[in-house]
């Protein structure tokens, strides 16, 4: 059984220990597993190498067939579990790409992990447009849900699935993390918050930016909006420490 993972060095699955750089667990030592493939195609995606393979695969869900692709490695679920178990952190962050596209494979990987190293805390980074597989869902402690606003360039009918947003809003494990590039983007956050009854204390606003300079520039007005409107602010700690570097 295999998982499609991103690679940092050719042939090597992108599994690494770092600090969680964003959201509710920022600063916590965590092991990251980065999967490949995505059902969306954000214009500013900082990990487009996980899904933008040869040619243009925007919005073609049938492209999710698991053949070998550049920047992708197929790894045995048990081998991924062993790599995670051998790293020091007791927390796991599963990201991508869109990890919820590989729910059954992740559920099996986590079952193997529980054999090798029981009790790890599991967080999933997701764009929030896909329902989690039931067996996987039962093993997850935290969802970091990042619904995509119009500046991402995704069609709203793919990115913002109303019944999914209602389900995340009702799930106490879910934290919302909206990427914001301009003050006007926050209007869309306000509308989603009202429409789906998302509690403001579970909403982070995070500046779009792949460099410390851009993040810092946008943090001024974004932190003012958070202070006025009761949202939480999320920095991007890993970018300040390591820059936009794979495997950090």
Ligand X SMILES: Nc1nc2[nH]cc(C(=O)O)c2c(=O)[nH]1
Ligand Y SMILES: C[S@@+](CC[C@H](N)C(=O)[O-])C[C@H]1O[C@@H](n2cnc3c(N)ncnc32)[C@H](O)[C@@H]1O
Using CB under 6 A as the binding rule, whether residue 44 contacts ligand Y is answered as yes
Compute CA distances 105 → 94, 95, 121, 124, whole Å.
12, 14, 18, 14
Select from 224, 218, 231, 239 the least CA-distant residue to 188. Answer: 231
Q: Are 48 and 162 in contact (CB under 8 A)?
A: no
Q: Does the annotation list 95 as a binding residue?
A: yes
> Can residue 95 be called a binding residue for ligand X (CB under 6 A)?
yes
Asked whether residue 232 is marked as a ligand-binding residue, the answer is no
**Residue 196 binds which one of ligand X, ligand SF4, ligand Y, none, with CB within 5 to 8 A depending on kind?**
none
Nearest to 198 by CA among 175, 173, 169, 219: 169
Answer yes or no whether residue 47 interacts with ligand Y by CB under 6 A: yes
Helix (H, G, I), strand (E, B) or coil at 50: helix
Pick the binder of ligand Y from 12, 46, 137, 166 (CB under 6 A). Answer: 46
**d(C-alpha 99, C-alpha 34), whole Å:** 8
Establish whether 21 is an annotated binding residue: yes
Query: Under the rule (CB under 6 A), what is the footprint of ligand SF4?
Result: 38, 40-42, 45, 47, 96-98, 127
132 binds ligand Y (CB under 6 A): no
Which position has the token pair 């789906």?
196
Told to check if 103 binds ligand Y by CB under 6 A, we report no
Annotation-wise, does 69 bind a ligand? no
- Which among ligand Y, ligand X, ligand SF4, none contacts residue 209 (Cβ within 5 to 8 A by kind)? ligand Y
Binding mask 171-190 for ligand X (x = CB under 6 A): --------------------
End-to-end CA distance of the chain, in Å? 27
Q: Could you tell me the CA-to-CA distances from 238 to 145, 171, 210, 230 in Å, in that order?
A: 19, 27, 10, 25
Q: Is 192 annotated to bind ligand?
A: no
14 binds ligand Y (CB under 6 A): no
The whole-angstrom separation of Cα 5 and Cα 15 is 9
State the Cα–Cα distance between residues 47 and 216, nearest whole angstrom: 21
Residue from 77, 125, 185, 188 binding ligand Y (CB under 6 A): 125
Residue 20 in contact with ligand X, rule: CB under 6 A: yes
The answer to the question of whether 226 is labelled as a binding residue is: no
- Residue 97, helix vs strand vs coil: coil
For tokens 């509710």, the residue is 24
Asked if 21 touches ligand X (CB under 6 A), the answer is yes
Please state the closest distance from residue 206 (CB atom) to ligand Y, in A.
6
Contact between 150 and 188 (Cβ < 8 Å): yes
Q: Which does 20 bind (CB under 5 to 8 A by kind): ligand Y, ligand X, ligand SF4, none?
A: ligand X
The one of ligand X, ligand Y, ligand SF4, none whose footprint includes residue 210, by CB under 5 to 8 A per kind, is ligand Y
Annotated binding-site residue numbers: 19-21, 34, 38, 42, 44-47, 95, 97, 146-148
- Detail the residues annotated as belonging to a binding site for substrate: 19-21, 34, 95
């Amino acid at each position: 059984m295999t998982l499609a993972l991103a690679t940092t060095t050719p042939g090597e699955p992108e599994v690494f220990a770092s600090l969680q750089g964003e959201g509710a667990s920022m600063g916590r030592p965590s092991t990251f597993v980065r999967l490949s493939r995505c059902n969306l195609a954000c214009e500013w995606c900082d990990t487009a190498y996980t899904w933008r393979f040869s040619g243009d695969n925007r919005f073609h869900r049938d492209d999710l067939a698991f053949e070998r692709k550049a920047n992708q490695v197929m790894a045995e679920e048990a081998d991924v579990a062993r790599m995670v178990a051998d790293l020091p952190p007791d927390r796991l962050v599963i990201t991508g790409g869109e990890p919820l596209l590989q729910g059954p494979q992740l559920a099996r990987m986590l079952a193997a992990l529980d054999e090798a190293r029981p009790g790890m805390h599991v967080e999933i980074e997701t764009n929030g447009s896909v329902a989690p597989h039931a067996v996987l869902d039962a093993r997850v402690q935290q969802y970091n849900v990042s619904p995509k606003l119009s500046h991402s360039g995704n069609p709203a009918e793919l990115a913002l699935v109303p019944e999914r947003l209602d389900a995340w809003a009702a799930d106490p494990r879910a934290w919302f993390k909206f990427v914001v590039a301009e003050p006007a983007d926050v209007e869309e956050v306000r509308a989603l918050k009202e429409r789906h009854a998302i509690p403001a204390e579970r909403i982070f606003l995070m500046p779009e930016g792949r460099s410390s300079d851009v993040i810092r520039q946008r943090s001024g007005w974004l932190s003012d909006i958070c202070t006025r409107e009761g949202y939480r602010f999320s920095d991007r700690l890993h970018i300040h420490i390591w820059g936009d570097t794979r495997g950090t």
